[in-house]
Amino acid sequence: MYAGTLILSRKTIEHIIDISEAVKAVESAFREYGLGRVQMPAKIYLHLDKYEGDFRAMPAYIEKLDKCVLKWVNVHPKNKKFGLPAVMAVIILSDPKTALPLCIMDGTYATNLRTGAAGGVAAKYLARKNSKIVGLVGCGAQAKTQLQALRGLFKIKEVKVWGHKASYVEEFLKDMKKTNLKLTVARDVKECVKNCDIIVTTTPSRKPIVKAKWLKKGVHINAIGADAKGKQELEPAVLKKAKVVVDAWEQASHSGEINVPVRKKLITRKDIHADIGQIIAGKKKGRTGEDEITVFDSTGLAIQDVAVADLIYRTAAKKKIGKKIKII
């Protein structure tokens, strides 16, 4: 019998899941993807040039979890002036057997969590195990969850931070003060990435801001910011000299860090080492040398949303939190 659909707000779910649980869930989802046990149609875009933003519809099914998800998410970089997050989302988690909506939840926090978790998973397989210095190029909400995920996997000694506005940097430092990490403000992007073991880029840039000559041997880069056609944060020379791993070729070539170089024919699919699922599933190797430069091109997959939404739903149900409404 249909008992109702569980409704979960951000406030309700924000403290019931930690990043380490999300990392495990996302790693498992990537493995299932690598083994071919998921369904994930291409992300659908609704471009709103008038408002300098867009919507994306992201459906997926993971056989192992036996759950379906549809996420409706936006990216509006100028939302700060309206007092709103640049990225907001709603997630519908459904029972594949009956198609009933089991849960409707805020997807904004879940999106931040699953994207941060993906960066952590990628670094686990691609960064040097003794990585200690992290450079954050961009310091918004996504930079926070990226750092939280990395903290659970590496013994980080220093975090260098750059943001294109001083107010953003100040807000980040205030929010992350409780981590007790050594936080250093960089004057520019060059200073931010210099001598780093792991670099995370989370900006909406449409031109390269990280140059190959600034990078030290053995660095790993999580390229997170490029998530739509025309966006890029790394100059193509970085990709040419690196072992490049994508979350999914279809999305990355259309809207990820590699999208502009691919369209300009500076790189091709042959230049892509693997997708992260293949590495986790053991079909291809991750890092194989200490001096190797590695790049993870993260566009955000709907299977990540399935994994984290299912985790949130199961935890909320177990703790008996949230409100059920009969919407059918």
Catalytic residues: 71
Distances (CA, A) of 208 to 227, 235, 302: 14, 5, 27
Q: How far apart are the first and last CA of the chain?
A: 12
**DSSP letter at 313?**
H
The torsion angles phi and psi of 94, rounded to 5 degrees, stand at -120, 155
What's the gap between Cα 19 and its chain centre?
Answer: 12
The answer to whether 246 and 318 have CB atoms below 8 angstroms apart is: no
How many Å apart are CA 128 and CA 277, to the nearest integer?
19
One-character DSSP codes across 134-188: EEEE--SHHHHHHHHHHHTTS---EEEEE-SSHHHHHHHHHHHGGG--EEEE-SS
Helix (H) or strand (E) holding 295: strand 294-297
> Within a 13 Å sphere around the CA of 217, how many CA atoms are in the beta-carbon half?
4
Specify the DSSP element, H or E, that contains 54. strand 53-62
- Residues 146, 116: contact at Cβ < 8 Å? yes
* Contact criterion met (CB below 8 Å) for 300 and 247: yes
**Exposure class string for 314-325: b at 16+ Cβ within 10 A, else e:** eebeeeeebeee
